[in-house]
């Protein structure tokens, strides 16, 4: 798709409501209903994916959410990769931000970028497609996922994992 960011063409939209906002996203830093919150700003560099994955593994281990580490690391890889590709299309390649939020029921993974127009986030289910399978992975591994606009300058692509047991804090 010419001139778009984060686009995946030739695939059908997900039934999960890509443009539905995530309730209780914890946006802002003053107060949040989330028990655990972590944020990491990443430069628009190819090494950001590995850094985000390592950060996720360490934070979830600290939060004692070890059952979620492997799936969360894959999801973070896919979302950060999409965020980077969107950022690389913008002047100055602005940074992206990874946010991890957990309460006693779920883990929310968000990747924020500044590519707020011209994006199509559609999971591609075509195994022969050269690009765009990452969102199909997100769709398969997460309970739900979507995109929201927390402000006029940012979009946040998010996904949610359910906790398999009681969270320990």
Give the tens place of pLDDT for each residue, 22-77.
444 444 445 668 999 999 999 999 999 999 999 999 999 999 999 999 999 999 99
CATH code for the domain of 41: 3.30.565.10
Domain of residue 108, residue span: 37-162
Return d(Cα 64, Cα 74) in angstroms, integer.
18
The mean pLDDT of 125-140, rounded to a whole number, is: 69
Is residue 2 in some structural domain?
no
For residue 3, is pLDDT > 80?
A: no
Q: Which is higher by pLDDT, 67 or 11?
A: 67
Give buried/exposed letters for 106-130 (b at 16+ CB in 10 A, else e): bbbbbbbbbbeeebbbbbbeeeeee
169 within domain boundaries: no
**Assigned domain for 29 exists:** no
In a domain, 13, yes or no: no
Token duo for residue 150: 């927390």
The verdict on residue 65 lying in a domain is yes
What pLDDT sits at residue 124?
57
Question: Would you state the pLDDT for residue 135?
Answer: 81
Per-residue model confidence as pLDDT tens digits over 69-113: 999 999 999 999 999 999 999 999 999 999 999 999 999 999 999
Is residue 96 within 8 Å of 151, Cβ to Cβ?
no
The better pLDDT of the pair 84, 12 is held by: 84
Number of independent structural domains in the chain: 1
**Weakest mean pLDDT among 5-9, 88-92, 104-108, 137-141:** 5-9
Is residue 21 domain-resident? no
Q: Is residue 23 part of a domain?
A: no
In a domain, 56, yes or no: yes
């Amino acid at each position: 798709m010419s001139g778009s960011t984060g686009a995946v063409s030739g695939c059908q939209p997900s039934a999960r409501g890509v443009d539905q906002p995530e309730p209780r996203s914890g946006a802002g830093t003053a107060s949040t209903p989330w028990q655990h919150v972590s944020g990491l700003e990443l430069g628009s560099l190819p090494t950001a994916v590995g850094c985000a994955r390592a950060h996720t593994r360490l934070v979830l281990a600290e939060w004692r959410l070890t059952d979620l580490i492997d799936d969360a690391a894959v999801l973070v890889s896919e979302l950060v990769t999409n965020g980077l590709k969107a950022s690389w299309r913008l002047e100055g390649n602005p940074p992206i931000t990874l946010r991890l939020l957990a309460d006693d029921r779920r883990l929310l993974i968000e990747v924020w970028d500044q590519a707020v127009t011209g994006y199509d986030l559609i999971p591609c289910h075509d195994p022969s497609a050269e690009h765009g399978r990452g969102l199909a992975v997100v769709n398969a591994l997460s309970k739900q996922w979507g995109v929201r606009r927390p402000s006029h300058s940012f979009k946040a692509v998010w996904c949610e994992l359910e906790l398999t047991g009681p969270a320990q804090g």
